[in-house]
Amino acid sequence: MLHVLKQRFLVGIPVLLAVSLLSFLFLKLSPGDFLDQLALDPSVGEAFIAQERARLGLDQPWWQQYFIWLSHVIRGDLGRSFSYRIPVSTLILSRAGNTLILSLAAGVGTWLLAVPLGVVAALAQDRLWERILRLLTYVGQAMPSFVVAIGLLFLAQNTGWFPVGGMTRVDFADLSWGEQLLDLVHHLFLPAVALSLTSFAGLQRITRGSFLDVLRQEYLLAAECRGIPRWRRIGIHALRNAINPLVTLLGFEFASLLSGSFIAEFFFNWPGLGKLLLEAVQSYDINVVMAGLMMGAVMLILGNILADLALQALDPRIPRS
């Protein structure tokens, strides 16, 4: 296992360098920079803008800016946000926890519902209710996330059952810990549903397809002939062999924990990292954007490493090197 970890980390270093270089290049190729909005103000002189561009290092060639940024990152410094004028690490840490709460709630709910329903749908193939479930998953996969979010906002606004936006009530600090927990769950419910609905449909379909492939294998027929109980054949032998694609998918899901929720955060005004990165892209706050992109790349690498280790633990046929 240590050998596998060492190999994966060594491969991850050039991947991170390539991702950072290409990301920085594409950001610099896009028209405009952080000072464009300031330049539209007629009361701001060109001398002040030139001074600010030199202070922020935007007057240097893009490759020189990249190596300056990279040298700071190697030392553990992600730079300062142009918009907020605070360290990027402080800004990201202040928002990452909120996104982690939202993503974990949506992810856990999705997997707890999608995997059992996928297994049940495979066992009841071509029955009426399985066809209805199949139709619902098709609709869920075809429905864009922003349409789901708008529909849920319409529901909240017209029923009053859920808050329209935000993470907590105004008087949240004055509540007891139990009331604070209930208030957080109350605000969390709709954005978590919006985030998980489309991924639930895809995961349920993948689980059903993988399980159907396993159910057709001859070793399950042999196990039935040997008198092994049905629950053991399905719950242990079939599920263990059908879970490999799901473990691989879980590695990609891990990468999107902190960056895949920007649609739900934007529509429900959830103060998370996805909303922060969207605002940073709109304002050309390059240090924040690069930090978010690199965090996503790091989590993708870590997710793949965890998926590889889990697959090796679950399936002895997978090589250990």
| In a shared domain, residues 155 and 248 | yes
| In a shared domain, residues 54 and 145 | no
| In a shared domain, residues 100 and 42 | no
d(CA 38, CA 213): 59
Please say if the pLDDT value at position 172 is more than 80: no
Q: pLDDT tens digits for 250-285? A: 777 766 666 667 778 888 888 888 888 888 888 888
d(CA 145, CA 266): 12
Determine the average pLDDT of the residues in 51-62.
82
Please say if the pLDDT value at position 286 is more than 80: yes
Residue 79 lies in a domain: no
| In a shared domain, residues 56 and 101 | no
Length of the chain, in residues: 321
| In a shared domain, residues 252 and 113 | yes
Determine the average pLDDT of the residues in 287-299.
87
Please say if the pLDDT value at position 2 is more than 80: no
Give the DSSP per-residue string, 82-137. TTT-SBHHHHHHHHHHHHHHHHHHHHHHHHHHHHHHHHHHHHTTT-HHHHHHHHHH
| In a shared domain, residues 175 and 28 | no
pLDDT at 21: 92
Residue 172 lies in a domain: yes
| In a shared domain, residues 220 and 286 | yes
Please say if the pLDDT value at position 13 is more than 70: yes
| Closest among 102, 37, 104 to 285, alpha carbons compared | 37
Q: pLDDT tens digits for 70-94? A: 998 988 888 888 888 889 989 888 8
pLDDT at 256: 67
Q: pLDDT tens digits for 140-165? A: 777 777 788 888 888 887 887 888 77
Q: Count helices and strands (H / E) in the chain.
A: 15, 0
d(CA 151, CA 86): 36
| In a shared domain, residues 126 and 242 | yes
* Single pTM value for the model: 0.78
pLDDT at 316: 64
Determine the average pLDDT of the residues in 178-207.
82
| In a shared domain, residues 158 and 206 | yes
Residue 240 lies in a domain: yes
| In a shared domain, residues 66 and 161 | no
CATH of the domain at 298: 1.10.3720.10
Cα separations (Å) of 189 from 57, 58, 94, 116, 195?
43, 42, 21, 21, 10
| In a shared domain, residues 68 and 172 | no
| In a shared domain, residues 185 and 40 | no
d(CA 144, CA 228): 44
Residue 33 lies in a domain: yes
Residue 250 lies in a domain: yes
Band of pLDDT at residue 318, cut at 50, 70 and 90: low
pLDDT at 227: 75
Domain count within the chain:
2
The contacts of residue 255 (CB under 8 Å, 6+ apart) are 296, 299, 300, 302, 303
| Closest among 256, 243, 266 to 296, alpha carbons compared | 256
Q: Could you tell me the residue range of the domain that residue 20 belongs to?
A: 16-74
Residue 11 lies in a domain: no
Q: pLDDT tens digits for 95-124? A: 888 888 888 888 888 888 888 888 888 887
Residue 173 lies in a domain: yes
Residue 89 lies in a domain: no
* Per-chain mean pLDDT for the chain: 80
pLDDT at 259: 60
Cα separations (Å) of 194 from 158, 198, 271, 272?
17, 8, 16, 15
Please say if the pLDDT value at position 297 is more than 70: yes
